[in-house]
Amino acid sequence: MKWYLLHPMAVHFPIALLTTGFLAEAAGTWFKKQNSNQDAAPRLPWLQDAASWLLWLGTLAALVTLGLGLLAAKTAPHVPEAWDTLIAHRNAGYIACFLFSLLSAWRFFSRPKAGLFLAAWLLLGLSALIYAAYHGGELVYRYGMGTAPSAE
């Protein structure tokens, strides 16, 4: 079995879950502010709970994906020119997992202020995730890592 193929399949889950969680958190914060300004605003308290669960599941998916990425780094055919990019991708994955683990613990053990939590989620977590994804895309589309060579 080509174990390195599991990482690209799994990587889409943390991206989708964590991005959707951020959007649910932002919508829940917006509706909460609207609700405090007028009684006619829609009440959507479940958005905060959904955002929490998306954060926790996305963090778990990110940790699994990091593990699969480390396995892929050991089993995928190596492209020497891509080594620096591979290291940057791996380090960004570590940082993203660390930051989302912190955000998950913060959310689990306390109810942080919405604005501060949203800013931390966006600026720290999603920025690290996007940086890791950029380098992952470079590995595949620029260096062809993990893809079969074209038959010419």
- Residue 150 located in a structural domain: no
Residue 148 predicted with pLDDT over 80:
no
- Residue 109 located in a structural domain: yes
Tens of pLDDT, residues 86-122: 999 999 999 999 999 999 999 899 877 777 888 888 8
Domain hosting 116: range is 3-142
Residue 30: both structure tokens together: 């917006």
Length of the chain: 152
CA 130 to chain centre: 8
- Residue 29 located in a structural domain: yes
- Residue 149 located in a structural domain: no
Q: Phi then psi for 63, rounded to 5 degrees?
A: -65, -40
Tens of pLDDT, residues 69-79: 999 999 888 88
What per-residue confidence (pLDDT) applies to 151? 37
Q: How many domains does the chain have?
A: 1
